[in-house]
Amino acid sequence: MPEVVKTLTSRRVPTSVTLVPMPRDPTDDAPLSRQLWPADLAAEPFAAVFRKHFAALKAAHQAQPHEGVLIAAVDGNGFFDGHAHLRLPTSGIAHLIIGRHERCDVVLSRDSDVSLRHLLVRATRGHHAQIYLRAIDLRSRCGLLSEDGKRCEAIASKGPLFLQVASYVLLLLPTGPAVKPWTNDADETWRGFAPRDQEILPPPQPLKSRSAPAPNAVRLATITIQSSSPQAGDLTSTHAVWSDQLERGILVGRDDRCSHGGLEEGNLSRVHLVLLSVDDEVWAIDTASTNGSRIYNGPPFRQLLMTGESQLVLADALALRWQPVMHAARA
């Protein structure tokens, strides 16, 4: 499991920046609308937050010489709520979960509009040791708000990434030897983050999606899911897994829109597991679920590289068998 170092600030300094609360709808089970969020925040709100808390951010950034990403959270009242550092392991790939639940790696507890498990953050080592970041919404109530005021369910960045999550501002700042040192001036340091190569991505997709595979998508595996409950009885379902699904992320959980949604699996979290590809690798990521994920007859895990045929057990309620295809076929 990647190393996550959490620090809560004891001194909270208010800021004059006003953040617009994100709307409360839709509900957890409703699809996200495609409208843009109103961009009437204060001029350059992320820059203003960075400037206001520059001293604390610089100290936290300098304290982390290792390759990774610093995650800093400022709540809707302008308080620097805390920060955490995700250190990249030798593999160069690490994930963490942000949300309101106490089991999350970064806990945003001061706004009830933050979902229990709101988003997954992935950090990878890119070209010339640059840190690539990706944020994926976990079927939250209000999604993510990008730096330019667009509502989204997934976004990628080569370098720093700044998001609004409900009333929180999140600053995701790469650390390590390859990162340009910060100066003593907040504005100069902020300008040094530009240009930021960012892209809003398609949202994660459930296995049961009826959408056709993308052109030139490759069938990579078959997933068989088995569960048993008094409400639904014994259920076995088999799904083809395509490369475009894994690039976007496949959600497994109790939520109606997940791959196994709609069943009253009480021990299964609403979004319990994410299957996500990184280059030619496929990772299974537990979303800080209440009852955990483990390898069948093996240990629990938070992130697992899927190599060959694998069987996972989610919350002792659902079995997931991963079977790579012998010969990949294109759509």
- Residue ranges of alpha helices (H) inside 142-223 are 186-191
Exposed (0-12), middle (13-18) or buried (19+): which is 279, by Cβ within 10 Å? exposed
pLDDT digits (tens, 9 = 90+) for 137-191: 999 989 999 998 999 999 999 999 999 999 999 999 999 999 999 999 999 999 9
Find out whether 84 and 10 touch, Cβ atoms under 8 Å. Answer: no
Residue 325 pLDDT greater than 60, yes or no: yes
- Residue ranges of alpha helices (H) inside 53-168 are 54-62
> Which pair of tokens denotes residue 321?
């068998």
> Which pair of tokens denotes residue 90?
């030798």
pLDDT digits (tens, 9 = 90+) for 252-286: 988 755 555 445 556 888 899 999 998 889 999 99
Which residue type occupies 168?
A: Y
Neighbours of 210 (CB within 10 A): 5
pLDDT value at position 138?
Answer: 95
pTM (two decimals): 0.83
Exposed (0-12), middle (13-18) or buried (19+): which is 180, by Cβ within 10 Å? exposed
- Percent of the chain beyond pLDDT 70? 80
Please, what are the domains in the chain?
3-200 (2.60.200.20), 218-330 (2.60.200.20)
